[in-house]
Chains A and B, each alone.
Chain A
Amino acid sequence: MHGLAFDIAHFLAGGMVVASFLLLYQDRLYALIHVFALHSLVLALAVGWQAAVQGAHHLYITAGIALVFKAIVIPVALHRIVRRLGIHRTLETVGGVGRDMLAGTGLVALAILVMLPVTTAADALAREDLAFALAVVLLGLLLMVTRRNAVSLVIGFMSLENGLVLAAAGARGMPLAVEISVAFSVLIAMIVIGIFLFRIRERFDSVDMQAMDTFREERRR
């Protein structure tokens, strides 16, 4: 791996972690959606760069899907949902932004501490990519558990998924990378359509078990 190629890959993957942090402290839905578009844009660049460096042309398709679908189509659709449902208010977080950021920093440290020692055999690019990817996945999880709104939950999930695509692109010569990103896109499209069709707003909108438990048995009695 040449110096410059490696640095650019490193820079782009690191950019995704930074974008994940940006997602963590947004307190407006529109801003959250915009940052997510940025997140996906950086992903498209990172995957595109991997395609060029590895000479793996099928990865250009994955990058294209990230660019068109996740950086443009999904944010536009989410924008419409937020406008239609009238939920463009301040977001509530469970613990407060400061705590989220601290937890996020801890998770990134964890990702690096976990990934770097176990991947000593892999080449440097895959290693760093994987560590960053795990960091993005963990930050996405954090976003999912700390938000209560359906749209931010979905954005958390999609940022997590971006991390997975980054990992798949970084794994040299990984087959089925395109198919997997298509499968994921279908999944996401369904979630977004789900929110839109069923007007999932505030009440049943989180994986917060307490909120979910309310309907379980009592409501039907």
Chain B
Amino acid sequence: MSGADLGLVAMVVLLGVPAGAALLLVLVSDYRRGARLNVGAALLCLLAAVTLFQARPEANLYLRVDDFNIYLIALNNWVSFTTSVFSAGYIAHELETGRLTPAYLRFYHAMYQALLFAMNLALLANNIGLLWVAIELATLVTVLMVGLYRTHAALEAAWKYFILGSLGIALALFGTILVYLAAQPVIGQGLPAMAWDRLIARADAFDPALLNLAFVFLLLGYGTKAGLVPLHAWLPDAHAEGPTPISAVLSGLLLNVALYAVLRFKMLMSANPSALAPGPLMVILGLLSLLFAGLMLYRRGDIKRLFAYSSIEHMGIITFAFGMGGPLANFAGLLHMTLHSLTKSAIFFTVGHISQVKGTQRISTIRGLTVTHPTLGWGLVAGAIAIAGMPPFGVFMSEFLVVSSTFARQPLLALPLVVGLLLAFGTLLWRLHGVAFGQPDRAAFVPVRASTLPVTVHLTLVLVAGFWLPEPLVAWFRHVAALLG
């Protein structure tokens, strides 16, 4: 079998396995078997994603694997695999406490695979229309997942997410149509005028005014999905009320996918010399998100909501970095994207177990975890230190790169950036101090029975990244940073 054929098979697996597993899982009534199948399907996808590095399929008008998306596909399938492992332990507990019934679990597993399918499709898409459809599908699926618990608050969160998400999707579609209109006189009618590789090749000839308008719509539209302020309102609720594995996937992956869509269009803009520079818009949105989230972290009472705001903060940092542009800032943005995914999903795994053993998500009632549940407590401490951007974890390095590259080029912009980072850093650690080291309450002790492997593996990766990045990864980051312009 030649390389391109193997790559094609891998691509088919990436899309076909989750789609097929979603259908199959609807039929599996035993939740244990369902969970195992879920893990198995995610593992297959991960293997297929790794295969893509060896054998890259040829691009067609719909799908394409290139230097930019290949690592995101690998990251996406890695985190969804570890999350499926975490989810298997998590849902068993939810079933015992009666928060979920077996029928809902069937639905949950099917939706998990459908989400995986939608995200893989969005990342693989070479067609901006297909990209839109995939992100729309991902939105729909996550709305259903967020409302899974059927409590008042969960339904409310799902409804709010639905309305704001749909609005974002609608704006993004208008932007997509405008890009097509800009491309159509140059490339001609039909599918090629929506294929990304054709677009980027001819972008310099597009009408700049149309592209500018399109980018504003696309940035607002997909920016809503990436949780950028002022369109972030759905994000904290959706994270807090949905099942924790979904919070992990939302924060770690779906936000990345939405940002990936924005970046694709940013590349189009950069390829056209007379179009508006997309950087400043992204810098402004990024800074706003960072500062706003930093302030909002201060008064959060719900631990999942706290980390949801932290996700907004980090999305802000990443958007800021890509907005600054240039090899160094883009490098930092890509690195931060990867490390944030790994760290945040690890944190949500820990938080999921914590809220299960404590029976609450309220910060004020979770006290002294390092004493009562050392594994969870220290896991949370490590995660919090990592996400707050302290050495020796890798997030420190990527944040440091963002700050230093900003200082070198725009010292004035570095000021609000540093203020935002310090604000988030201080409030996050202050809020979590009591959770980890406070006086433990004397409530009944519930042991943790779930595997801590996913958390450990993720945090170890982030820790290692703080000291050493493998050479091929650095080379890839450099290469893509140059592509992003």
21 interchain pairs, CB-CB under 8 A: A118-B209, A119-B207, A121-B210, A122-B184, A130-B177, A160-B167, A167-B174, A168-B173, A171-B181, A172-B189, A174-B177, A174-B194, A175-B190, A179-B133, A180-B129, A180-B132, A183-B133, A215-B152, A216-B237, A217-B301, A220-B362
Q: Mark A96-137, 1 if CB is under 8 A from B, else 0.
A: 000000000000000000110111011000100010011001
**In the complex, chain B residues 106-162 whose Cβ is within 8 Å of any chain A Cβ:** 127, 129-130, 132-133, 136-137, 140, 143, 147, 152-153, 155-156, 158-160, 162
Q: Identify which of residues 226-241 in chain B touch chain A, using a CB-to-CB cut-off of 8 Å.
A: 233, 236-237
Interchain CB contact under 8 A, A212 and B173: no
Interface of A is mostly: helix
A187 to B368 Cα, complex, angstroms: 45
In the complex, are the beta carbons of B129 and A164 less than 8 A apart? no
Answer yes or no: B100 CB below 8 A from chain A CBs. no
Residues in A whose Cβ lies below 8 Å from that of B127: 176
Known: A122-B181, A137-B170, A191-B166. A173 touches B210 (CB 8 A): no
Contact B140 A212 (CB under 8 A): no
A157 touching B166, Cβ below 8 Å = yes
Bound-state CA distance A48–B173 (Å) is 21
| Chain B residues in the interface with A (C-beta under 8 A) | 127, 129-130, 132-133, 136-137, 140, 143, 147, 152-153, 155-156, 158-160, 162-164, 166-167, 169-170, 173-174, 177-178, 180-181, 184-185, 189-191, 193-194, 207, 209-210, 212-213, 233, 236-237, 299-302, 305, 361-362
> In chain A between 153 and 211, which residues have their CB closer than 8 angstroms to a CB of chain B?
153, 157, 160-161, 164, 167-168, 171-176, 179-180, 183-184, 186-187, 190-191, 194, 198, 200, 204-205, 207, 209
Residues of B near A212 (CB, < 8 A) are: 156, 160, 233, 237
**In the complex, which residues 4-45 of chain A have their Cβ closer than 8 Å to any Cβ of chain B?**
none
Count how many chain A residues have C-beta atoms less than 8 Å from C-beta atoms of the other chain: 50
Which A residues are CB-close (under 8 A) to B299?
217
Contact assessment for B153 and A126 in the assembled complex, using a CB-CB cutoff below 8 Å? no
Distance in angstroms from B108 CB to nearest chain A CB is 17
Identity of the chain B residue whose Cβ is nearest the Cβ of A209 in the assembled complex: B233
A215-B153, A221-B301 known; A176 vs B133 contact (CB < 8 Å): yes
Asked if residues B174 and A134 are in contact (CB atoms below 8 Å), the reply is: yes
The residue of chain A having its C-beta at the shortest distance from the C-beta of B213 within the complex is: A118
A residues neighboring B (CB under 8 Å): 114-115, 117-119, 121-122, 126, 130, 133-134, 137, 141, 144, 150, 153, 157, 160-161, 164, 167-168, 171-176, 179-180, 183-184, 186-187, 190-191, 194, 198, 200, 204-205, 207, 209, 212, 215-217, 219-221
Main secondary structure of the interface of B (DSSP, over half): helix
CB distance from B444 to the nearest CB of A (A): 21
**Do residues B302 and A220 form an inter-chain contact, with CB atoms below 8 A?**
yes
Chain A residues near B191: list those with CB within 8 A. Answer: 175
B222 to chain A, nearest CB (A): 15
Task: Report if A207-B164 is in contact (Cβ < 8 Å); known contacts: A171-B180, A183-B133, A217-B301.
Answer: yes
Residues of A within 8 A of B305 (CB): 216-217
Q: 7 tightest A-B contacts by CB?
A: A173-B189, A118-B209, A176-B129, A204-B156, A175-B191, A167-B177, A217-B301
- Choose among A126, A150, A217 the residue with the greatest number of B CB atoms under 10 Å from its CB: A217
Instruction: Enumerate chain B residues within 8 angstroms of A187, measured Cβ to Cβ.
Output: 136, 140, 166, 169
A194 in contact with B159 (CB, 8 Å): yes
Chain A residues within 8 Å of B177, by CB:
130, 164, 167-168, 171, 174
Closest to A119 in B: B210
Whole-angstrom distance between the alpha carbons of A115 and B212 in the complex? 11
B204 smallest CB distance to A (angstroms)? 15
CA distance A144 to B166 in the complex (A): 12
Complex formed: what's the CA distance from A207 to B170 in Å? 15
Distance in angstroms between the alpha carbons of A209 and B233 in the assembled complex: 8
